[in-house]
Amino acid sequence: MGSVIKGVQTTISQNLGGVAQKLAPADQQFSLEHVPDQTGKVAVVTGGSEGIGYGSSHTLLSKNISKLFIISLSREIVDGAKKSIADELGQEKADRIHWIQCDLTDWKRVTEAAKEISDSSDRLDILINNAGRGIMSYKLTDYGVEEHMALNLIGHATLTSHLMPLLKKTAEKGDKVRIVNLASNAHMSAPKDTKFESLDELNTDLGAMGQYGRSKLADLLYARYLARHLTPSHPNILANAVHPGIVKTRQSEELIHEPFPVAGYAMSTGMSPFKKSVFEGCVSSMFAATTTEKSGQYICPPAAIEPGSDLAQDEALGEQMMKLASEIVQQKTNNVKDGCPMKFY
């Protein structure tokens, strides 16, 4: 009975807002108050102007991050975020934000965005791969690749690859560098027969939840891939994946009705009283981005280390996934020399 109660407490503390996080065991406790001072550091947050990404951006700025690059699509949304930060933290903090407009499904534009960052900063301490296509219907990008995988995995892997020289340069100074991938417990919804063997497999319509779950599995596998290939040779670079919990965002309030016009109300309305705020939702991201000393972890809120599904622990699957991603980028961009096609680390 004790283990059942503990399991229920863990589920509640990892997923729900309010006092729920206080149910976590003492060794898994973490809050935004525990985020250390970030003076002198530089961060990149994709999707950092709304939702969980805004929570991360706001927190880093409140902890005195020296420069913050936000990669996103909408000028209107980022202007609103900057105004809120100016109102709450002061104009000087808002002025530390450098916005780069970029569609992460456009891998050539991602390459340009990474260059803009590298050309305007001599260091990069934190990379939070936060942006993503949520639980939405099947759609192909202009490259002819299913959009969840094209954005959530391949867009971020391309960005990370092109920022790697700057990340390594920072780590070589003796500073810890942390890469954070936004995964989700929804990775358990990925089909059990996922193999990442071909583009045809990626482009199979799995339904909104299946596609989202597979892309979140991919984000988790990618963090562990980086931990295997990168951390041993560059021990100051840590790569981890996180689960945010159930958070009140535009995805869970509005966009969920795109694939589920009626059933989506269970999430948008039914779960509303229990959802986390964006600040509660970024707690695991902040632990991974500022505090953990380990690599290859799957961190659930507040700071619980979990194994993930069997697929998430399959190293061979992660290797095959990144091999396929590399081949797709090379084929679709026709850019072997500059398009990070051979390695994603």
From the candidates 216, 248, 275, 332, give the one annotated as an active-site residue: 216
How far apart are alpha carbons 244 and 333 in whole angstroms? 33
DSSP summary character for residue 276:
B
From the candidates 54, 143, 212, 225, give the one annotated as an active-site residue: 212
Q: Are strands 97-101 and 298-300 parallel, antiparallel or unpaired?
A: unpaired
Which tokens sit at 143? Answer: 């490259």
- 10 Å CB burial of residue 82 (0-12, 13-18, 19+) is buried
Q: Rounded to 5 degrees, what are φ and ψ at 35?
A: -65, 125
What is the dihedral sign for C-alpha 215, 216, 222, 224?
negative
In the residue annotation, 216 being an active-site residue is answered as yes
How far apart are alpha carbons 40 and 239 in whole angstroms? 21
Contacts of 345 (CB under 8 A, 6+ apart): 160, 161, 164, 225, 226, 229, 230
In the residue annotation, 225 being an active-site residue is answered as no
CB of 244 closer than 8 Å to CB of 276: yes
Q: List residues with catalytic annotation.
A: 212, 216
